[in-house]
Amino acid sequence: MVRSIIIINSLLAQMVMGQSIEVPLDYNDPNSGSFQLEYEFGAEFNPELPTVVVIADAQQFYVRKGRMKKIQDDLFSKRINVLGILPRSTNEELRRKVQLQSNGTVDWFLAYKVYRSFQYANDIHSVLGKIPGDVYLYGQSGGALLITEYLSLFPDTRVKKVFIGASVNPVIEQKLGIIHDDFQRAFLSNHPQDRKKLDAVMDEGHFDRKLLATLFQRQNFFVGPSELSSKRSELIHRLYHRDTAYVAQLQKEFQIDAINALFGSEDGIPIRVRLSEFIYPLMEYRESDPNRFYPDLENSYQIAEPIMEHFKDQDHGMVNEFNERTFRKFTGKLFLLAGRYDHVADYRSSIYLGSLLENASLFIADDDHTFKSLKAEGHYSKMIQDFFFYNTEDWISTYSGFRWKEK
């Protein structure tokens, strides 16, 4: 009997360590061809342990070949199997089979068909079908949205636990009439002198508006919540006085030129597609009042602009994959971690998202999009592990010092 168990466990380990699976180029068209979708474990698979699948979308770069061991060590520990699905956007075989560029022109219709979130969600479902035992999901930001899109398409999945942090959800924002970009609401409305200076900068046109949007958007990633207001004021002051040296320094510090080069390359095509899915439900905010300045929305739009312009006059439009009605059918446990000062994922949309499920818990941290405070002392990874390893919610009280409390 013991020998039989050992043999079965060995076979299970061999089955899932193949690290690739054949999937369609387009799940809506089985005749479109196929490619080998890759996945990777952080350590040797242990059939006695549950498996957490790390989900990243096209505009995230941390789930890459050779990176899963570090991700397992940093976030999850050895008490659980950790698997990362390498996004189809990084798959060289797929790129060879799908010619997206010709004479410098991108076929945006084909790019959208191959790289839209519908395909990524089906990739997740295909890989999960190969994993024995209990399965959990983890994702942050765009990866968290991709998980909710997957659960919308496959609410009857056997996934038992889901941890999502800073979950972007433009569909919910559009439905509730809210906007995650708080530059107007939280900053300019409280700093009238800065507003006057910024209006003068934009009217003068010495600095391109697209550059301004990028500067203020990128600033969120490099400055903590406690310093953000003062740094915004400083940037406006420098812009007002045409301090081109300071702006050039920030462009380098914020890696703006490198990012623009990425978007202009073939690697940037799937990123543009993903950002078009972020901005599409929120277009009314961009179009309703041109005098309002929303750096995050404008920056996202300028990246997605080629594909947005392509679909503007097309009979076939873009599709929102998140579906509230089907998402409600998911019966597993969901933990939502939101940052009160998140400039990308509005914490109010996380409140609504959690209310859709009977088995969901929400923690609003006094933090930003990347959870700098929680991560500073290792509490972010500990929170993830506590959720996956405990079946009750008693552990949440451990983090009460990080919970946001309205004043």
Length of the chain: 407
Structure tokens at 69: 């061991």
pLDDT tens-digit profile of 371-407? 999 999 899 999 999 999 998 889 999 999 999 999 8
pLDDT tens-digit profile of 298-316? 999 999 999 998 888 765 6
Domain extents in the chain: 12-174+321-402, 183-312
Assigned CATH for 12-174+321-402: 3.40.50.1820
* pLDDT over threshold 90, residue 118: yes
pTM: 0.91
Q: What is the pLDDT of residue 105?
A: 87
Q: What is the pLDDT of residue 366?
A: 95
Helix (H, G, I), strand (E, B) or coil at 81: strand
Q: What DSSP assignment string belongs to 167-232?
A: ---HHHHHHHT--S--IIIIIGGG-HHHHHHHHHHHHH-SS-HHHHHHHHHHHHHHS-HHHHHHHH
Q: What is the pLDDT of residue 17?
A: 47
Q: What is the pLDDT of residue 398?
A: 94
Distance (Å, rounded) from C-alpha 96 to C-alpha 30? 18
